[in-house]
Amino acid sequence: MAHKIVKNVKLNSSVRRLEIHAEDIANKALPGQFIVLRIDEKGERIPLTICETNLAEGTIVLIVQEVGATTIKLCKLPVGSYILDIIGPLGKSTEIKKYGKVICIGGGVGIAEIYPVAKALHAAGNNVFSIIGARTEEFLILKEQMRSVSKNLYLLTDDGSFGRKGFVSDVLGEILKKNNFDIVFAVGPVPMMAVVAGQTKPYKLKTIVSLNSIMVDGTGMCGSCRVTVGGEIKFVCVDGPDFDAHKVDFKELSSRSLRFKSAEKQCLLKIEKGNSNVL
Protein backbone atom coordinates (compact mmCIF):
# COMPACT_ATOMS: atom_id res chain seq x y z
CA MET A 1 0.00 0.00 0.00
CA ALA A 2 1.52 3.29 -1.11
CA HIS A 3 1.54 6.24 1.26
CA LYS A 4 0.87 9.79 0.08
CA ILE A 5 3.02 12.74 1.13
CA VAL A 6 0.63 15.50 2.22
CA LYS A 7 3.19 18.03 3.44
CA ASN A 8 6.89 18.63 2.78
CA VAL A 9 8.24 21.61 4.70
CA LYS A 10 11.84 22.83 4.71
CA LEU A 11 13.13 23.38 8.26
CA ASN A 12 16.67 24.28 7.23
CA SER A 13 19.20 23.61 4.47
CA SER A 14 19.33 19.85 5.13
CA VAL A 15 16.25 18.96 7.20
CA ARG A 16 12.65 18.51 6.08
CA ARG A 17 9.37 17.89 7.90
CA LEU A 18 7.33 15.30 6.02
CA GLU A 19 3.71 14.53 6.83
CA ILE A 20 2.64 11.24 5.30
CA HIS A 21 -0.69 9.45 5.20
CA ALA A 22 -0.34 6.21 7.16
CA GLU A 23 -3.57 5.80 9.12
CA ASP A 24 -2.92 2.37 10.64
CA ILE A 25 0.48 3.47 11.96
CA ALA A 26 -0.84 6.79 13.26
CA ASN A 27 -3.52 4.96 15.26
CA LYS A 28 -1.00 2.72 17.02
CA ALA A 29 2.23 4.72 17.31
CA LEU A 30 3.57 5.64 20.75
CA PRO A 31 6.46 7.96 21.75
CA GLY A 32 9.87 6.47 20.98
CA GLN A 33 8.72 4.20 18.17
CA PHE A 34 9.84 4.37 14.56
CA ILE A 35 9.01 3.22 11.04
CA VAL A 36 11.04 1.70 8.23
CA LEU A 37 10.28 2.93 4.73
CA ARG A 38 11.21 2.10 1.15
CA ILE A 39 10.61 4.82 -1.43
CA ASP A 40 10.28 2.52 -4.44
CA GLU A 41 10.98 -1.02 -5.61
CA LYS A 42 14.71 -0.35 -6.00
CA GLY A 43 15.03 1.65 -2.81
CA GLU A 44 16.83 0.74 0.39
CA ARG A 45 15.01 0.44 3.70
CA ILE A 46 15.70 3.19 6.24
CA PRO A 47 14.42 3.73 9.79
CA LEU A 48 12.94 7.08 10.88
CA THR A 49 11.47 8.07 14.23
CA ILE A 50 7.82 9.06 14.36
CA CYS A 51 7.86 12.67 15.56
CA GLU A 52 4.11 13.30 15.66
CA THR A 53 0.81 11.73 14.70
CA ASN A 54 -2.44 13.31 13.53
CA LEU A 55 -5.26 10.90 14.27
CA ALA A 56 -7.90 13.07 12.62
CA GLU A 57 -5.99 13.12 9.33
CA GLY A 58 -4.46 9.66 9.68
CA THR A 59 -0.94 10.98 9.18
CA ILE A 60 2.49 10.63 10.73
CA VAL A 61 5.23 13.26 10.83
CA LEU A 62 8.87 12.41 10.06
CA ILE A 63 11.79 14.81 10.47
CA VAL A 64 14.33 13.83 7.82
CA GLN A 65 17.94 14.97 7.50
CA GLU A 66 19.66 14.66 4.13
CA VAL A 67 22.63 12.47 5.00
CA GLY A 68 22.63 9.80 2.30
CA ALA A 69 21.21 8.86 -1.09
CA THR A 70 17.82 7.72 0.19
CA THR A 71 17.18 10.64 2.53
CA ILE A 72 18.21 13.09 -0.20
CA LYS A 73 15.75 11.47 -2.60
CA LEU A 74 13.03 11.34 0.07
CA CYS A 75 13.34 15.03 0.90
CA LYS A 76 13.01 15.95 -2.78
CA LEU A 77 9.66 14.19 -3.20
CA PRO A 78 6.90 16.74 -3.81
CA VAL A 79 3.55 16.89 -2.05
CA GLY A 80 1.17 14.44 -3.70
CA SER A 81 3.81 11.84 -4.49
CA TYR A 82 3.84 8.39 -2.91
CA ILE A 83 6.17 6.24 -0.84
CA LEU A 84 5.91 2.56 -1.74
CA ASP A 85 6.30 0.90 1.67
CA ILE A 86 6.13 1.99 5.29
CA ILE A 87 6.10 -0.55 8.12
CA GLY A 88 5.50 0.28 11.75
CA PRO A 89 5.22 1.28 14.41
CA LEU A 90 8.40 -0.61 15.28
CA GLY A 91 10.48 -0.87 18.43
CA LYS A 92 9.43 -0.66 22.05
CA SER A 93 7.81 2.60 23.05
CA THR A 94 9.35 4.84 25.70
CA GLU A 95 8.06 4.12 29.20
CA ILE A 96 5.89 7.13 29.98
CA LYS A 97 4.64 7.66 33.52
CA LYS A 98 4.80 10.26 36.27
CA TYR A 99 8.42 10.16 37.41
CA GLY A 100 8.56 13.61 38.98
CA LYS A 101 11.40 15.85 37.82
CA VAL A 102 12.69 14.83 34.40
CA ILE A 103 15.45 16.01 32.04
CA CYS A 104 14.96 15.63 28.28
CA ILE A 105 18.04 16.20 26.10
CA GLY A 106 18.13 16.46 22.31
CA GLY A 107 21.10 17.09 20.04
CA GLY A 108 20.78 18.00 16.35
CA VAL A 109 18.07 15.97 14.62
CA GLY A 110 17.74 14.10 17.92
CA ILE A 111 15.54 17.03 18.97
CA ALA A 112 12.84 15.60 16.71
CA GLU A 113 13.11 12.30 18.57
CA ILE A 114 13.09 13.74 22.09
CA TYR A 115 10.12 16.03 21.37
CA PRO A 116 7.38 13.32 21.40
CA VAL A 117 8.92 11.90 24.58
CA ALA A 118 9.00 15.31 26.30
CA LYS A 119 5.45 15.98 25.15
CA ALA A 120 4.17 12.69 26.60
CA LEU A 121 6.08 13.16 29.85
CA HIS A 122 4.63 16.66 30.19
CA ALA A 123 1.11 15.31 29.59
CA ALA A 124 1.72 12.68 32.29
CA GLY A 125 2.30 15.44 34.84
CA ASN A 126 6.08 15.49 35.01
CA ASN A 127 8.18 18.59 35.66
CA VAL A 128 10.17 18.61 32.41
CA PHE A 129 13.55 20.32 32.08
CA SER A 130 14.62 20.26 28.43
CA ILE A 131 18.06 20.90 26.96
CA ILE A 132 18.45 21.07 23.18
CA GLY A 133 21.50 21.96 21.14
CA ALA A 134 22.79 22.13 17.58
CA ARG A 135 25.76 23.38 15.58
CA THR A 136 24.15 26.71 14.65
CA GLU A 137 20.83 28.53 14.95
CA GLU A 138 19.77 27.11 11.57
CA PHE A 139 19.88 23.55 12.86
CA LEU A 140 18.21 24.21 16.23
CA ILE A 141 14.80 22.83 15.28
CA LEU A 142 11.43 22.60 17.08
CA LYS A 143 12.27 25.33 19.58
CA GLU A 144 8.68 26.45 20.15
CA GLN A 145 7.36 22.90 20.28
CA MET A 146 9.89 22.02 22.97
CA ARG A 147 9.10 25.20 24.87
CA SER A 148 5.41 24.30 24.97
CA VAL A 149 6.09 21.01 26.82
CA SER A 150 8.90 22.15 29.12
CA LYS A 151 8.87 23.97 32.43
CA ASN A 152 12.47 24.99 31.74
CA LEU A 153 14.04 25.02 28.28
CA TYR A 154 17.76 25.54 27.66
CA LEU A 155 18.86 26.38 24.12
CA LEU A 156 22.47 25.98 22.98
CA THR A 157 24.49 26.30 19.79
CA ASP A 158 28.10 25.32 19.24
CA ASP A 159 28.92 28.72 17.74
CA GLY A 160 26.72 30.88 19.98
CA SER A 161 24.53 32.03 17.06
CA PHE A 162 21.41 31.39 19.18
CA GLY A 163 20.86 30.88 22.88
CA ARG A 164 23.90 30.00 24.91
CA LYS A 165 27.21 29.08 23.30
CA GLY A 166 28.30 25.59 24.23
CA PHE A 167 27.08 22.01 24.41
CA VAL A 168 24.12 20.33 26.08
CA SER A 169 26.53 18.68 28.50
CA ASP A 170 27.54 22.12 29.82
CA VAL A 171 24.02 22.87 31.05
CA LEU A 172 23.43 19.30 32.20
CA GLY A 173 26.46 19.47 34.47
CA GLU A 174 25.26 22.72 35.99
CA ILE A 175 21.66 21.73 36.71
CA LEU A 176 22.66 18.34 38.13
CA LYS A 177 24.59 20.20 40.82
CA LYS A 178 21.61 22.39 41.72
CA ASN A 179 18.63 20.02 41.50
CA ASN A 180 17.60 16.48 42.26
CA PHE A 181 16.12 14.66 39.27
CA ASP A 182 14.33 11.35 38.88
CA ILE A 183 15.30 10.34 35.34
CA VAL A 184 17.03 11.59 32.18
CA PHE A 185 16.10 10.89 28.54
CA ALA A 186 18.63 11.72 25.81
CA VAL A 187 18.71 11.43 22.02
CA GLY A 188 21.43 12.65 19.68
CA PRO A 189 24.83 11.79 18.22
CA VAL A 190 26.57 8.85 19.86
CA PRO A 191 29.35 11.00 21.40
CA MET A 192 26.75 13.28 22.98
CA MET A 193 24.82 10.40 24.52
CA ALA A 194 28.05 8.85 25.81
CA VAL A 195 28.99 12.12 27.53
CA VAL A 196 25.52 12.43 29.07
CA ALA A 197 25.78 8.88 30.42
CA GLY A 198 29.16 9.72 31.95
CA GLN A 199 27.77 12.82 33.62
CA THR A 200 24.74 11.17 35.20
CA LYS A 201 26.41 7.96 36.33
CA PRO A 202 28.14 9.44 39.41
CA TYR A 203 24.71 10.64 40.56
CA LYS A 204 23.25 7.15 40.04
CA LEU A 205 20.58 8.94 38.03
CA LYS A 206 18.67 6.62 35.72
CA THR A 207 19.38 7.66 32.13
CA ILE A 208 17.66 6.37 29.02
CA VAL A 209 19.14 6.84 25.55
CA SER A 210 17.43 6.16 22.23
CA LEU A 211 19.99 4.51 19.96
CA ASN A 212 20.16 5.06 16.22
CA SER A 213 22.40 2.24 15.07
CA ILE A 214 22.40 0.99 11.46
CA MET A 215 19.27 -1.01 10.57
CA VAL A 216 18.22 -2.99 7.51
CA ASP A 217 15.05 -5.00 8.09
CA GLY A 218 13.87 -3.55 11.40
CA THR A 219 12.61 -6.90 12.70
CA GLY A 220 15.71 -8.38 14.35
CA MET A 221 16.58 -10.72 11.46
CA CYS A 222 19.66 -9.07 9.91
CA GLY A 223 21.63 -8.23 13.05
CA SER A 224 22.98 -4.95 11.67
CA CYS A 225 21.69 -2.96 14.64
CA ARG A 226 23.21 -5.12 17.34
CA VAL A 227 24.63 -3.37 20.35
CA THR A 228 26.12 -4.55 23.64
CA VAL A 229 24.14 -3.52 26.70
CA GLY A 230 25.19 -4.72 30.13
CA GLY A 231 27.50 -7.27 28.51
CA GLU A 232 24.66 -8.80 26.47
CA ILE A 233 23.96 -8.55 22.75
CA LYS A 234 20.77 -6.63 22.01
CA PHE A 235 19.09 -5.58 18.77
CA VAL A 236 18.04 -1.94 18.67
CA CYS A 237 15.10 -2.57 16.34
CA VAL A 238 13.30 -5.06 18.59
CA ASP A 239 14.89 -4.70 22.04
CA GLY A 240 15.05 -0.89 21.84
CA PRO A 241 15.56 1.76 20.71
CA ASP A 242 15.59 2.82 24.40
CA PHE A 243 18.34 1.44 26.64
CA ASP A 244 19.93 2.12 30.00
CA ALA A 245 22.69 4.56 29.08
CA HIS A 246 24.96 3.36 31.89
CA LYS A 247 25.04 -0.14 30.39
CA VAL A 248 25.54 0.71 26.69
CA ASP A 249 28.94 -0.02 25.13
CA PHE A 250 29.25 3.32 23.33
CA LYS A 251 32.74 2.55 22.04
CA GLU A 252 31.47 -0.49 20.16
CA LEU A 253 28.38 1.39 18.96
CA SER A 254 30.53 4.18 17.54
CA SER A 255 32.91 1.74 15.87
CA ARG A 256 30.07 -0.15 14.16
CA SER A 257 28.52 3.10 12.89
CA LEU A 258 31.78 4.13 11.25
CA ARG A 259 31.75 1.02 9.03
CA PHE A 260 29.16 2.63 6.80
CA LYS A 261 30.66 6.12 6.61
CA SER A 262 33.05 5.47 3.74
CA ALA A 263 30.29 3.93 1.60
CA GLU A 264 28.02 6.85 2.40
CA LYS A 265 30.68 9.36 1.33
CA GLN A 266 31.23 7.53 -1.96
CA CYS A 267 27.50 7.64 -2.66
CA LEU A 268 27.26 11.37 -1.94
CA LEU A 269 30.21 12.07 -4.23
CA LYS A 270 28.43 10.28 -7.06
CA ILE A 271 25.29 12.34 -6.43
CA GLU A 272 27.29 15.58 -6.53
CA LYS A 273 28.70 14.52 -9.91
CA GLY A 274 25.19 13.99 -11.25
CA ASN A 275 25.13 10.18 -11.20
CA SER A 276 21.46 9.47 -10.51
CA ASN A 277 21.99 5.70 -10.64
CA VAL A 278 22.79 5.67 -6.91
CA LEU A 279 19.23 6.81 -6.25
Neighbours of 79 (CB within 10 A): 12
pLDDT of residue 276: 41
Q: Compute the average pLDDT of residues 250-268.
A: 68
- Phi/psi zone of residue 16: left (φ > 0), alpha (ψ -120 to 50 degrees), beta? beta
Residue 8 pLDDT > 90, yes or no?
A: yes
Q: What's the pLDDT at 278?
A: 38
Residues 6+ apart with CB under 8 A from 108: 65, 133, 134, 135, 139, 188, 189
- At residue 215, the pLDDT reads 82
**Beta bridge partners of residue 86, listed in sequence order:** 37
- State residue 197's pLDDT score: 98
Residue 187, φ and ψ in degrees, nearest 5:
-140, 130
Hey, what domains does the chain have and what are their CATH numbers?
3-90 (2.40.30.10), 92-208 (3.40.50.80)
Instruction: State residue 271's pLDDT score.
Output: 42
pLDDT score at 71 = 95
Does the pLDDT at position 96 exceed 50?
Answer: yes
Pair type for strands 127-134 and 152-157: parallel
Across 161-167, average pLDDT = 96
Q: Return the DSSP state at 66.
A: -
The whole-number pLDDT of residue 264 equals 47
- Average pLDDT of the residues of the chain: 92
pLDDT tens profile 113-158: 999 999 999 999 999 999 999 999 999 999 999 999 999 999 999 9
The band of 260, judged by pLDDT with boundaries at 50, 70 and 90, is low
Residue 40: pLDDT over 90: yes
Average pLDDT over residues 224-233: 93
